[in-house]
Structure formats: C-alpha cells, structure tokens
C-alpha cells in the first residue's frame, strides 16, 4: 500500500547545504553569485533531463511495477518457505545495491539470528572471484537448501559467469537433474548468454528492463528480489523512490534537492574539489557509501565530453563511516587540502535506544557519559565533526533521514541517482556509459583466450615485459 501523503511528508529526507556556502565557511566555499550562475546554466540541463526522461528507464521503475513486483513477491515467498540460504552471484551494481539495502533495512546480525527470528533465509552476496571466498561459501551452504540468484544483464560478465559455471557444476554433482530449480536468473529478456542458458536449463528468470544500467538497477528485479526474499518491504522502497522523484521534478533547483546537490558538487569541482567523501553516521547506511562510489565514479569519470573533447572530468568518491573514520580520516578532512567535499548522512531517530549506565562515577572524565545514550553520542559526534570541518573551511553538506526504513531508503536511492544524472548534464558528459570499464573487460577476455579478441591479446603481449630494475 502506498504511503499516505501526511505519512510520506513526515518521512521526507532533507538536504542541508549551509556548509557548502562561502558565507558559512569562508573563501573556499561557494558564493551566492556562483550558485546563481549555476542555476542559470541548469535551465538547459533541466530541459535535457525532461527530454531524455523516456530513455532513462530507471526513473520509471517506481511506477511500472504491478506484474513484476507481484511475481517477485510470489517467488520470494517460495524461497523463504523452502530454502535456508539465498546466494547472489553478481558484481558491480548487481551486488552493491542488494548489499546496501540488506544492511540498511534488516537486522545488523541478520545471518547470525536463529531461523525463527529471521525474516528469510541467510543471504550471501558474492561480489568477487577470490578463489578462497568461493571455496569458503561452498564449505558452509547445503546445496539442497540453497537458492542461487545469478545476475548479469549482458550475460557476458566474466566474474558472474565464472561463478555460475562453478555453481552449476557443484549443483549438478550434488543434486543431479533437479539442480536447475536452485537457480534464478536475472538478465536481459532478449539477448545475451545468460538468457540462452536460462531457457536451455529451465531457470526461473527475471528481466532487467532496457535502458536500466547496472548502477541504476537496484529498484528493478536486480535489487528487489534479494530484498523481498529477506522480508524487506519492496512496495515501501518503491513508494519512497516515487515520492522523491516527484519532489525532484521541480524545475527550480533551489527547491530540488537532487539538482541542487549536483550543482553544488559541480561548482566544487570547478573550484578544484576532485574528491567526494560520503560519510554515513549510521552502520545501517555504511554500504550506501559503497553503492554511491560506483554510481558517482562510473557515471562521471569520463575522458571526453558529449562534443568529443578531452575533458578528463569526475570526482573520486571516498567511503567513510562515522564515527569509525573520525579516528582514521577526519584529521585529513580538517587540516588537509581543500580538494574535497563531504556529504554526511544523518539519522534523526534510530531503531534502537541504548542508554549509557552509571559506572566509574569516581572518574569525572568517564562519568560525564553516564545518563546519556549511544543515540546522543553518535549524533553529537556527527555534529562535532561537521563543526570541525566547517570551521576549517572545508565544504560539506548533510542529507538527513528522519529514520532508516524502506520508504526513506527509496528516497535516498532516487535522490542520488537523479543527482548523478543531473551532474552528467551539467558536465556535458554521458553519465550512462563506461568505456573505461569495457577496456579492462576486453583485456581480461583476451588474456583468457575468448574467441574474437586475438588483436587485443597481441596488443597486450606487445606492451612488453616489466623493467626489472623497477621491481624491488
């Protein structure tokens, strides 16, 4: 059921960008006239966003959902009732989104809970091809009670297809002909290797819609199926995204948090800030920073602009966690160079309330904590870090979530996706391709002898041997 308007408004997330502005942080901040010029520039980009909306199919995901979402729920219910482990095989957006949503919305120790206290089977998201990792997975799962969800739109992702090959061989050996009932494929409906295999082997299959790239795919079956299997309210997740999409349809960037955030970051880039730090002050949001890192880096890190001119643009995303990284990174953020912006993620109301009891009352430097709560402590530490970096003249802004739930997380996902797309328009680059990634993929294919990549293999060989004197 969709959130009623008054409930939705109470759960609206907000962005505070006071500390991006020169009037608050000094000469290294953004002046009002600079922002006004960016707003003028934005008019054409807003028109482009509206004109291109039809090709941004990821924006339609919160709206076009009835049949697909109902089938996801039905499949998720079947998995919950019949399996003890749910394993996602994927990499990039096929894994980072599901990891972030699972961490945000389920119990922090989800897999360690007894079955009766979990909302679904144990979940394992295998987003790498480290051989020790794969071996350790096979050591702990029971093939008879494990369901595998292989996710790759192209069906040519080497990492994911190698995982599928290993799991297929394993399940065939352990289960025989029944093995195919333990694999669900999420891929392109019409083309690619995985859809061919899925039809041949009889896997249940979900489809990634056309026009939805990996890093923008969390609100399609890529992310919704793993979430639903683990009991997450995917309707509320989609409702949150729909709600934020409505807010961010506003043409005035001063009333549009996604467009304003993009404009601020592009202004910052023009002032030499080539690093973007995301620092959640909640363990539940820790992996949102990982998901954001791919979204921002892969979308904006481009050699050429839309006119074919070499621009080498983009900001390097950095992941941090408050308060953990106050003790590892904040020294740099307060006293280091003015080459970065910080985005704090703040949570007003946590889902737990933990009091700090009276103990060691004879030690004043410790006793002052008594009677407070961890809730107060983590938010006080966030405010203190915000104050410290602001006082030192470093640009920062805060995205504020009333609480972490499916509705607010859906908003956050939509906000960051729209911010990224709009930044691409402001920078005049294609935010939806990744030619640099393709070069690495092609080189991997060549090294492993994939047919059709002989020229690339010869290119790699001709690169020559490493110089021995530079290896010590």
Catalytic (active-site) positions? 298, 327, 441
Phi-psi region of 201 (alpha: psi -120 to 50; beta: other; left: phi over 0): alpha
CA pair distance 17, 15, nearest whole angstrom: 6
Closest CA to 15 of 239, 260, 248: 260
CA pair distance 154, 329, nearest whole angstrom: 38
Contact by Cβ (8 Å): 106, 232? yes
* 215 Cα distance to chain centroid: 7
CA pair distance 222, 81, nearest whole angstrom: 21
* Count of alpha carbons within 13 angstroms of residue 376, beta-carbon side: 9
Contact by Cβ (8 Å): 400, 16? yes
CA distances from 20 to 24, 243, 315 (A): 8, 26, 16
Question: Going by DSSP bridges, is the β-strand pair 146-151/183-187 parallel, antiparallel, or unpaired?
Answer: parallel
Peptide bond into 197 cis (omega under 30): no
Mark out the alpha helices in 154-285 (DSSP H runs): 158-175, 193-201, 221-229, 234-247, 257-270
Instruction: Give the count of beta carbons closer than 10 Å to the beta carbon of residue 90.
Output: 27
CA pair distance 210, 208, nearest whole angstrom: 7
Contact by Cβ (8 Å): 194, 184? no
Residue 318 bridge partners (DSSP): 277
Orientation angle between helical segments 221-229 and 66-82, nearest 10 degrees: 40
CA pair distance 20, 28, nearest whole angstrom: 9
Residue 56 structure tokens: 């941004």
SS3 content of the chain, % helix, strand, coil (to 5): 55, 15, 30
């Amino acid at each position: 059921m969709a959130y009623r308007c008054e409930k939705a408004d109470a759960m609206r997330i907000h962005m505070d960008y006071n500390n991006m502005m020169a009037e608050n942080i000094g000469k290294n901040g953004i002046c009002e006239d600079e922002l006004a010029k960016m707003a003028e520039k934005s008019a054409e980009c807003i028109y482009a966003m509206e004109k291109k909306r039809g090709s941004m199919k990821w924006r339609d995901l919160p709206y076009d959902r009835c049949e697909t979402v109902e089938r996801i729920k039905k499949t998720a219910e079947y998995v919950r009732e019949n399996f003890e482990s749910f394993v996602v095989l994927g990499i990039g957006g096929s894994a980072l989104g599901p990891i972030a949503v699972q961490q945000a919305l389920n119990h922090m120790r989800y897999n360690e809970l007894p079955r009766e206290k979990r909302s679904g089977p144990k979940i394992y998201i295998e987003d790498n091809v480290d051989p020790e990792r794969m071996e350790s997975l096979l050591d702990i799962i029971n093939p008879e009670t494990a369901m595998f969800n292989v996710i790759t739109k192209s069906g040519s992702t080497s990492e994911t297809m190698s995982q599928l090959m290993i799991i297929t061989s394993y399940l065939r050996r352990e289960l025989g002909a029944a093995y195919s009932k333990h694999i669900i494929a999420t891929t392109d409906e019409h083309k690619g290797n995985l859809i061919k295999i899925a039809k041949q082997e009889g896997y249940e299959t979900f489809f990634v819609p056309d026009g939805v790239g990996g890093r923008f795919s969390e609100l399609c079956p890529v992310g919704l199926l793993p979430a639903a299997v683990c009991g997450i309210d995917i309707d509320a997740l989609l409702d949150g995204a729909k709600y934020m999409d409505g807010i961010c349809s506003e043409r005035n960037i001063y009333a549009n948090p996604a467009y304003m955030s993009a404009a601020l970051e592009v202004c910052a880039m023009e002032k030499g800030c080539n690093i973007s730090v995301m620092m959640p002050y909640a363990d539940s949001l820790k992996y949102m920073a990982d998901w954001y890192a791919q979204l921002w880096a892969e979308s904006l890190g481009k050699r050429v602009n839309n006119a074919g001119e070499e621009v080498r643009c983009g900001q390097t995303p950095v992941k941090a966690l408050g308060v953990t990284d106050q003790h590892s990174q904040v020294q740099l953020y307060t006293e280091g160079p003015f080459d970065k912006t910080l985005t704090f993620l703040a949570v007003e109301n946590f889902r737990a309330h933990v009091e700090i009891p009276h103990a060691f009352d004879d030690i004043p430097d410790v006793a002052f904590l008594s009677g407070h709560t961890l809730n107060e402590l983590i938010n006080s530490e966030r405010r203190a870090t915000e104050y410290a970096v602001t006082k030192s003249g470093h640009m920062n802004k805060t995205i504020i979530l009333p609480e972490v739930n499916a509705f607010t997380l859906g908003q956050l996902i939509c906000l960051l996706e729209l911010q990224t797309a709009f930044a691409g328009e402001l920078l005049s680059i294609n935010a939806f391709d990744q030619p640099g990634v393709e070069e690495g993929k092609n080189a991997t294919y060549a090294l492993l002898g994939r047919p059709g990549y002989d020229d690339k293999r010869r290119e790699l060989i001709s690169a020559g041997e490493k110089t021995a004197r530079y290896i010590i």
